Amino acid sequence: MAGKKLTPLGPKGKGALETAKWAVPLLLAAGRWVSANPHILTTAQEQIAKLKTLRTSTADGVLETVAVLRGNVDYLADSADDEQEARQAQEWAKQLSHCEQAALLLKAPGSAKKDRRALKKRVEALRSEIFAAYVEEMGEDAEAEQG
């Protein structure tokens, strides 16, 4: 019996796979809040849709991603339950500002591919951290409203 030949993923398939790597585990972890508060799923899906269309491999994509994440961090700062959450939101805001400055520098001609890759990796890590905290905080806020 001949083995099936696997077809390589196209650009859209690869993007979907990359999105699934960071989005699906977060939504599964938030399942307990989502079942009781379906609006959390809707809001999370909207955020995922915004973030997945942005390419972190370009400086402009990084700037757009940072703008979306900055909105999430603002929400986290406004709804911080304690000093630790407030400090974490401030730290993320600072890191996003650094990424924004780096992206602006990378828009200049002659920027190194190595620097673009490093920035992409950092922004993707921040995206995962911030989005996880965002979904968790929405769940906690929904629980507080109900209880």
Share of the chain above pLDDT 70, in %: 76
Tell me: pLDDT of 139 over 80.
yes
Please report whether residue 134 resides in a domain.
yes
Please report whether residue 113 resides in a domain.
yes
Please report whether residue 36 resides in a domain.
no
Count structural domains, the chain: 1
Report pTM. 0.76
Please report whether residue 126 resides in a domain.
yes
SS3 assignment for 21-44: HHHHHHHHHCHHHHHHCHHHHHHH
